[in-house]
Amino acid sequence: MGKNKFIPALRFKWLTPVYDFLIGVTMPEMHIKQSLIDFSYLTDGATVLDFGCGTATLTIMAKEHRPTIKITGIDIDKAILVKATEKINQKNLDIQLTGYNGESLPFEDNSFDRIISCLVFHHLATPVKQKALVELFRITKSNGQLFIADFGRSDSWHQRLLFNMIRGFDGYTPTRANAKGLMLPLISDAGFVNPSIKKRFKTVFGEVQIFNAIKQ
Ligand SMILES: C[S@@+](CC[C@H](N)C(=O)[O-])C[C@H]1O[C@@H](n2cnc3c(N)ncnc32)[C@H](O)[C@@H]1O
């Protein structure tokens, strides 16, 4: 994939308008996102980044969960940020949105207490995952934490089989490290410590896991 190329939310740009509907009817979306928020333990005034915010469903849920947080959503797809802006404006919430060039995140070092991200990393080829994680490490504050919900290697052959089906849709290259169970090593390699899997969700597309790690 060339520079700044990306896989849209549902693989094809023309499917983006129905992303919220399709993800809602096929996945335990709200359960996954609420767990991500609960594990993140968002405290009053915390600075939070939603990496790959898409239509801002998680960003909005986090802001409504703890209204005093300062939350920013970032996404590489400018078109999906238009939809995110509409949803945020409808609810009149104080949420910042920004675009990403796929290279460097537009934030100072040590800016965020929490990084949250849902179903983004299986869209990124391994070198892109590595680059994104190094950037996320740079902008995380000392003692800040990373929480990622995404597909991981399941102990269940049935879940692995189901994930292979979604791999055909999303692509074998971006999903390879997820399928091999390499998310935790990749997170460690970026500098984060104490990487762990907090929770596993069995879905019709394979197992989604919540990965957590800390910046010391
Ligand atoms: C499946 S959607 C998930 C959206 C949202 N996080 C959610 O859970 O509803 C994946 C998102 O990742 C974004 N994305 C893909 N490649 C990206 C990259 N390199 N950097 C940031 N976001 C990216 C897509 O534009 C899309 O919005």
In order along its 216 residues, the chain shows pLDDT tens digits of 334 677 766 666 666 676 677 777 778 899 999 999 999 999 999 999 999 999 999 999 999 999 999 999 999 999 999 999 999 999 999 999 999 999 999 999 999 999 999 999 999 999 999 999 999 999 999 999 999 999 999 999 999 999 998 898 889 999 999 999 999 999 999 999 999 999 999 999 999 999 999 999
Helix, strand, or coil here: 114?
A: strand
In short, whether 16's Cβ falls inside 6 Å of ligand 1 is no
pTM: 0.94
Give me the pLDDT at residue 10, please: 60
Give me the pLDDT at residue 44, please: 98
Token pair of 136, please?
A: 């996320």
Give me the pLDDT at residue 9, please: 62
Residue of the CA atom closest to atom 22 of ligand 1 = 52
Ligand 1 atom closest to the Cα of residue 6 is: 16
Domain 13-214: give its CATH code: 3.40.50.150
Q: Structural domain boundaries of the chain? A: 13-214
- What is the spatial distance between Cα 25 and Cα 39, in angstroms, rounded to a whole number? 24
> From ligand 1's centre to the CA of 75, what distance in Å?
6
> From ligand 1's centre to the CA of 13, what distance in Å?
12
Give me the pLDDT at residue 27, please: 84
Classify strands 96-99 and 112-118 as parallel, antiparallel or unpaired: unpaired
Give me the pLDDT at residue 90, please: 98
- Which CA distances in Å does 79 have to 10, 75, 138, 167, 198? 13, 10, 27, 24, 32
CA angle 146, 189, 187 (to 5 degrees): 25
